């Protein structure tokens, strides 16, 4: 089974996103307001680099961002759609994005959730993981996931074509997805597993090599567009 995969990427309201990254801005120059702005800019950069890499993957079909942020905040005219997050938590937002894709897209596509804090993600990593999921679907599995670098969270959840997406994100989501019947996908994929929740995670991602927006932070935003050429690499 070799099919395109439609992706749902949740982007939390930037002023509330990534609270555990606050220490990363604590020593920046300026006042509290400027550090708060830098914190928002970091969350923004992580999401932009994730979207850039996801869009560049060969196996990505449609890309839907579920967010409360204005569409232009993530790049007006970017090669993705936006769905308004109307509340109810992360899993509700993901179901809303999945429902939108199922209503308006091909039922022959697989459907996936990709977390928005993967600044070191490489398109080839995502392609390989999606290919691995397709192979498991051909063997009879109906969903698959990739655990984060700690082994407790989930960075990617994939549902086979014509099967519902059942997100169980939150503390211990890897175990929750496994308990729901999703199969864990094997592969090193350091960028795909490298979600950024803490300053240590950010340092680890930078060691791997992050995309241009995270690489530029906390300097002023670069001129690199979020909607970079569709097959450009993320490094």
**DSSP letter string, 79-139:** SSEEEE--SS-HHHHHHHHHHHHHHHS-TTSEEEEE-S--TT--HHHHHHHHHHHHHHHHT
Give pLDDT, residue 14. Answer: 64
Q: What is the mean pLDDT of the chain?
A: 86
**What is the helix (H) or strand (E) element at residue 5, kind and residue range?**
strand 5-11
- Confirm if 57 and 130 have CB atoms less than 8 A apart: yes
Across 94-102, average pLDDT: 94
Q: What is the mean pLDDT of residues 18-40?
A: 72
Interatomic CA distance for residues 49 and 120, integer angstroms: 8
Calculate Rg over the CA atoms of the chain: 17
> Phi and psi of 110, rounded to 5°?
-75, 165
Token pair 């999945």 in the structure block, residue: 98
């Amino acid at each position: 089974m070799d099919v395109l995969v439609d992706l749902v990427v949740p982007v939390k309201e930037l002023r509330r996103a990534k609270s555990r990254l606050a220490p990363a801005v604590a020593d920046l120059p300026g006042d509290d307001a400027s550090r708060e702005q830098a914190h928002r800019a970091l969350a923004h950069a992580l999401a932009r680099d994730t979207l850039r890499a996801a869009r560049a993957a060969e196996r990505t079909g449609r890309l839907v961002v579920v967010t409360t942020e204005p569409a232009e905040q993530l790049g007006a005219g970017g090669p993705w759609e936006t769905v308004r997050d109307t509340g109810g938590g992360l899993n509700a937002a993901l179901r809303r994005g999945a429902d939108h894709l199922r209503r308006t897209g091909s039922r022959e596509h697989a459907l996936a959730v990709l977390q928005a804090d993967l600044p070191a993600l490489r398109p080839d990593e995502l392609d390989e993981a999606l290919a691995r999921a397709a192979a498991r679907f051909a063997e009879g599995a109906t969903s698959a996931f990739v655990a984060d670098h700690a082994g407790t969270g989930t960075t990617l959840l994939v549902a086979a074509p014509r099967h519902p997406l059942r997100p169980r994100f939150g503390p211990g989501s890897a175990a929750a997805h496994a308990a729901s019947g999703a199969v864990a996908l094997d592969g090193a994929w350091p960028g795909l597993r490298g979600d950024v929740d803490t300053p240590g995670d950010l340092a680890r991602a930078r060691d791997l090599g992050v995309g241009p927006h995270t690489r530029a932070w906390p300097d002023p935003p670069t001129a690199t567009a979020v909607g970079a050429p569709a097959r450009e690499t993320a490094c």
